Amino acid sequence: MGERITSPVVPVSRNRSMSAACMTLAGKILMTTKKTAITLLLALLLALLLGASCIFLGAPPVETSRAAEPARPVEPARAADPTVQIEERQREIRKMSAAMLIIGRFLKNEGATVADVGTSADIIRAVAAKMVDGLFPQGTEVGVGRSGARPEVWQQWDMFRERASDLIKATLQLTAAAATGKAEAVQTPIRAVGQACAACHELFRRKRP
């Protein structure tokens, strides 16, 4: 219900105070009537009639329409859903493991080429960069949704950043090695990439529930 409209406190003539009382009555009818469609309509008509006579009596017009307007519900700002954030993060991270699978196929001589290894390194690097740029918002640790991110991620954020940056460096070396086109050149950098994954998981990841 809207606020009760009160007449301004100004010295009024006898006639005007009469019309002010009349307006208050019109307002009260609107306030107290139950708001089913029909009663509201009737109340509105009655209030309009009263309002009209109030005007006739020389009072300022009553804002009947404003009094009758239902309060608009205020929609609260929607907070980002941590469960969705976690799912999106894990989907993003799985791009890294898919890239690692391709690298594995190269190592096992199962069709992937040195060029594929280079492309995979680029994919991993892109995700590693996102890891410290939005993929781990506060409130998405183990215990929330199906997160496998230990609280240490946020408690030791600098260390976490360092682990991500180690992975970025390792993938840069792998990209450079793959660019030579030589299968021998990528062996050592591939191992370094795998170690960078493991080094971060050791501290910051728990197998997800």
- Residue closer to ligand HEC by CB (options 59, 131) is 131
Q: How far is the CB of 106 from ligand HEC (least distance, A)?
A: 14
Among 47, 164, 178, 185, the residue binding ligand HEC under the rule CB under 6 A is: 164
At 172, which helix (H) or strand (E)?
Answer: helix 157-179
In whole angstroms, how close is the CB of 187 to ligand HEC at the nearest point? Answer: 16
For residue 117, give the nearest of 200, 187, 70 by alpha carbon.
187
Minimum CB distance to ligand HEC, residue 62 (Å):
60
Q: Is residue 174 a contact point for ligand HEC (CB under 6 A)?
A: no
Instruction: Select the span of 13-21, 23-31, 91-99, 111-119 touching ligand HEC (CB under 6 A).
Output: 91-99
What H or E segment, with its residue span, contains residue 119? helix 114-131
Asked whether position 117 contacts ligand HEC by CB under 6 A, the answer is no
| 114-131 helix and 183-204 helix, angle to the nearest 10 degrees | 30
When asked if residue 191 is in the footprint of ligand HEC (CB under 6 A), the reply is: no
Does residue number 163 form part of the binding site for ligand HEC (CB under 6 A)?
A: yes
Residues contacting residue 148 through CB under 8 Å, at least 6 positions apart = 90, 142, 205, 206, 207, 208, 209
DSSP state of 207: -
Neighbouring residues of 10: CB distance < 8 A, sequence distance ≥ 6: none
Q: Which residues bind ligand HEC (CB under 6 A)?
A: 86, 89-90, 93-94, 96-97, 100, 124, 128, 131, 147-149, 153, 160, 163-164, 167, 193, 196-197, 200-201, 204-205, 208
